[in-house]
Amino acid sequence: MGEERDLRFYFEDMADPRVLGRCDHKLVDIIIIGICAVLCGAEGWEEIEQFGQSKEEWLRQFLELECGIPSHDTFRRVFSLLDAQAFQERFVRWVEGVFTVTRGQVIAIDGKTARRSYDKRDGKGALHLVSAWASESGILLGQRKVDEKSNEITAIPALLEHLYVAGCIVTIDAMGCQTEIARTLIEQKADYVLALKGNQGQLHEDVQEWFAWAQQTAFKQMPHSFWQTTNKAHGRIEIRRCWALSDPQAFEVIRHHDGWAGLRSIVMVQRERRFDDHTQTETAYFISSLPADAQLLLHAVRAHWSIENTFHWTLDVTFREDNARLRTGDSAENFAVLRHIALNLLKRHPAKLSLKRKRFKAALDDAFLFELLSQV
């Protein structure tokens, strides 16, 4: 790794949860071995130990390893005791120090559950993390655990508090369509596109009715814009249509408008999928602080879907997150951070390989593994 501000720089001064003076292995060594092992395909503590034993000579180039490679029990114990919130905050600090998020980029915020992280015997629910995904860069910016007795509404503000989103467009599904979240984003000098559903009471119905009226009158004397895209793939034709309104009269009619900081447009997106034997149509509604630019708004809505189609899919298929049975202490949450670090490093490397092949190459090729770790 490089001379300055390598991975060790961001984790070497973390508080050690173990008893001082009774530790054979440095905390930063345990963390770095964990990151390297997950980069190479490790999915559990035994595999991390096996990786360390196989790569001990190589690891000694930049780690002290005074007492050799820790056992899998040590990895399990340390990551179950490690302060998960502090570990996530160090992850965010590393992302901000290494990666660049360009202005105007769409940052999608959504939640995902690690399905097998629950412990029925101890009454422990499955881990649910809310994540912020930079769609264009393809990197994770940060994540926050949803408390078992709460929901994403409380986790999203806590996540935003630690992220720098100025100049970006933040998209959130209907769960995050809250006036306080909108106000927070405006205060952080970001724009928002928030999905509407029945959870917003009358607002969703009001927006639906206003667009129905607008279509009946062919948008006569209503300031608006329209954009459409058409794609052919997988034996179907997909047409996306977007209408955006900024009519002041619409905002006067729509109730509770004053509670939405920075609100500048209401949006309707229609997705039509044509198959050989049938057609599917679905319509979604949004509010936004962006001007009524249908092309830009449709781009933001489509970019939001990448957190499901790319980020969540990658965690499930490439990293097999849903199969992980990590249940002790904060181990599931901390192992998620190891995956997220590995994902960002793999995405950032320019090699024209799939993530799966990059991991395989890293396991076989020490030079390539070093390249991945040296991207600072």
Asked if residue 104 belongs to a domain, the reply is yes
Whether residues 114 and 212 fall in one domain? yes
Confidence of residue 3 (pLDDT cuts 50, 70, 90): very low
Cα 210–300–216 angle (5° rounding)? 20
Higher pLDDT residue, 70 or 234? Answer: 70
Whether residues 146 and 234 fall in one domain? yes
Higher pLDDT residue, 324 or 372? Answer: 372
Asked if residue 344 belongs to a domain, the reply is yes
pLDDT for 313-357, tens place per residue? 888 888 888 776 666 778 888 999 999 999 999 998 999 999 999
Q: Is the pTM of this model over 0.85?
A: yes
Asked if residue 361 belongs to a domain, the reply is yes
**Bridge partners (DSSP) listed for residue 237:** 232, 274
Contact 189, 261 (CB under 8 A): no
Contact 299, 246 (CB under 8 A): no
pLDDT for 43-53, tens place per residue? 999 999 999 99
User: What is the maximum alpha-carbon separation in the chain?
Assistant: 77
Whole domain around residue 64: which residue ranges? 7-83+330-373
Gap between the Cα atoms of 25 and 31, Å rounded: 11
Whether residues 351 and 293 fall in one domain? no
Mean pLDDT of the chain: 87
Whether residues 22 and 150 fall in one domain? no
Whether residues 68 and 105 fall in one domain? no
Q: Where a domain ends, among 312, 345, 361?
A: 312
Asked if residue 325 belongs to a domain, the reply is no
pLDDT at 216 over 60: yes
Cα 13–137–10 angle (5° rounding)? 5
Asked if residue 318 belongs to a domain, the reply is no
**Count of domains for the chain:** 2
Report the share of the chain in percent with pLDDT over 90.
53
Whether residues 353 and 271 fall in one domain? no
Whether residues 167 and 30 fall in one domain? no
Whether residues 291 and 193 fall in one domain? yes
Per-residue pLDDT at 337: 93
Q: Where a domain ends, among 312, 340, 357?
A: 312
Whether residues 248 and 308 fall in one domain? yes
Whether residues 79 and 213 fall in one domain? no
Average pLDDT over residues 191-204: 85
Whether residues 62 and 104 fall in one domain? no
Q: For residue 156, give every residue at least 6 positions away whose Cβ sits within 8 Å of its Cβ, in sequence order, or none.
A: 109, 130, 144, 172, 176, 181
Asked if residue 297 belongs to a domain, the reply is yes
pLDDT for 149-194, tens place per residue? 567 788 899 899 888 899 999 999 888 888 899 999 999 999 999 9
Asked if residue 323 belongs to a domain, the reply is no
pLDDT for 101-150, tens place per residue? 888 899 999 988 765 555 555 555 667 889 999 998 889 999 888 876 56
Asked if residue 347 belongs to a domain, the reply is yes
Whether residues 159 and 213 fall in one domain? yes
Contact 143, 171 (CB under 8 A): no
Per-residue pLDDT at 116: 56
